[in-house]
Structure 1
Amino acid sequence: MKNSQQRGATRPRARGTGRSLARRAELIAIGRKLFSDTSYDALSMDDIARHAHVAKGLIYYYFTSKRGYYLAIVEDSVAGLVNLAAGGLELPPVERVNRTIDSYLRYAENNQAAYRTIVSGGVGFDAQVHAIRDGVREAIVTTIAEGAYGRREIPPLVRMGLLGWVCSVEGAALDWIDRPELSRDTMRELLVKTLGGTLRAIEELEPSRVAPPPARRDP
């Protein structure tokens, strides 16, 4: 019973209309910015209601609790990132990998508060938030594997190699949006090259997973 209540806290009310869902999305957008700038424990429901210019009861109506509100923000941010990064199924493997990395960086650049929420959370150690973040990592690993190898099922060594690369991308992207000294194109090229190095290292240790050839440059 408790688990079903926790899950329900992060979903729209069944009686929601188009207008109420739009209001809920607006509250999520406001909360995303608040939790990006201020730690979870430092924000009270009164603070949130004041910044959102709504009655506190409205936030309880949509999200049940502050934790439910926070988890809804994280899950909404995750959905946006994964949907962008996982597109381009019709493209050749190398192009799809490039598109995935570009989409990832574009999302981080254009949705900085949401990206920080996904990667760092601003809430200290929270097992449920970290589980959501880990789900994003696994989704990106699966997307890269499918783009690089044409399959989603990968052995442990391949998963670990790609997961290590994804974690390094998170740190690099966080630093990049704070100090955008490189263009997105340069960042993408850098990350594509480091991914190429990871894929070649995987191939050396797991010969059945042949790294795709590097993209050709136009003359």
Structure 2
Amino acid sequence: MNDSQQRGTTGRAQVRRAELVAIGRRLFADTPYDALSMDDIARHAGVAKGLIYYYFKSKRGYYLAIVDDSVAALLARAGGDTDLPGAARLRRTIDGYLHYAEHHHAAYRTIATGGVGCDAEVLALRDAVREEMLAAVAEGAYGHRDLPPIARLALVGWLSAVEGTTLEWIGGPSAPDRPGRARLGALLARQLRATLAVIEEFAPECPAPPPSEEPFEPADDLAPVTGSP
């Protein structure tokens, strides 16, 4: 939690702070970080600049709060449905991850690439997302979060490929045959299944879960999750 999150603990203050974060997500989605001044932000938000300083202390603090909020929303979307059986849970995790990227391009790019320049705090948030995604996959595949080193390396490789693929998917040129979320999700799920099979060869204590017989279907876009849709 950064310093700005400690301000505004009353219900009304939390709502106001959340409104400012939502406005900031839209602003930074359309405008580069360096191109926005605090005066610009205050004007777009329709508030006095001092109010933003009160909640976030600085433009960087405001930006970090926005990234932190985006991270929470991504993890909530990808980590839902924890009561599903293993294979179904893995597929739901992939679809939730892609759902977030599909609907929040700028926020996803920030999370996946580490934000502005080499900001250590943003990079730490990005690493936290990766760790939580690895844990979610391990839990879905094996029923626990602990991974032997060889399994961790294999899953890190798969997740790195997912990040690159997703960035290309949301940022590449549109084409009539560009895959939708369900088709891309099926591809990533198949790649994960292959990775889990290879892990089993090298680490027999990590048996691959049986494949699901059901076709990959995206979850309802309006399915409730904790955090932002």
Per-residue CA deviation, residues 126-168 of structure 1 (Å, 9 max, x unaligned), is: 1111011000000000000000011111111111211121121
* Identity among equivalent pairs (%): 57
> Counterpart in 2 of 1:113?
106
Q: Report the alpha carbon displacement of residue 19 of structure 1 after superposing the two structures with TM.
A: 2.8
Q: Say which of 7, 10, 15 aligns to 1:13.
A: 7
The structural deviation recorded for 1:70 is: 1.0
| Superposition deviation, residue 178 in structure 1 | 2.6
Q: What is the alpha-carbon distance in structure 2 between the residues aligned to residue 7 and residue 52 of structure 1?
A: 22
Aligned equivalent of 2:16, options 14, 23, 36 = 23
Stretches of structure 1 lacking an aligned partner (at least 5 in a row) = 1-5
Q: Distance in 2 between matches of 1:134 and 1:151?
A: 20
Q: How far does residue 33 in structure 1 lie from its aligned partner after superposition?
A: 2.5
Task: Name the SS for the 2:32 alignment partner.
Answer: coil
Question: TM (normalized to structure 1)?
Answer: 0.88
Alignment of 1:148-167 (within 5 A): 148-167=141-160
Distance 2:92 2:53 in 1: 39
Matches within 5 A, 1:36-75: 36-75=29-68
* Change beyond 3 A, Cα 1:58–1:117: same
CA distance in 2: counterparts of 1:217 and 1:69, whole angstroms: 43
* 1:41 alignment partner, SS class: helix
Match of 1:184 in 2: 181
- Assess if the C-alpha contact under 8 Å between 2:67 and 2:110 holds in 1: yes
Aligned pairs, number: 211
**Matches of 1:44 and 1:122, distance apart in 2:** 17
- Residue 214 (structure 1) aligns with: 211
CA contact (8 A) 1:36 1:116 kept: no
Structure 1 consecutive aligned stretches of length 4 or more whose deviation exceeds 6 Å: none
Aligned to 1:3: none
Question: In 2, Cα distance between the equivalents of 1:18 and 1:176?
Answer: 39
User: Is residue 36–residue 117 contact of structure 1 (8 Å, CA) maintained in 2?
Assistant: no
Cα deviation code 1:87-134 (max 9, x no counterpart): 222111001001111111111112223222222354111111101100
CA contact under 8 A between 2:115 and 2:123: conserved in structure 1? no
Between the aligned partners of 1:66 and 1:196, the Cα distance in structure 2 is 43
| Paired residue secondary structure (1:207) | coil
CA distance in 1, matches of 2:81, 2:122: 28
- State which drifts further: 167-176 or 59-68: 167-176
SS of the residue 2:34 aligns to = coil
Residues in 2 aligned to 1:32 and 1:103: alpha-carbon distance in whole angstroms? 19
The answer to whether the 8 Å contact 2:196/2:208 transfers is: yes
Residue aligning to 2:201? 204
Residue of structure 1 equivalent to 2:221: none
* Cα distance in 2 between the residues matched to 1:123 and 1:34: 15
RMSD: 1.9
Alpha-carbon distance in 2 for matches of 1:170, 1:49: 33
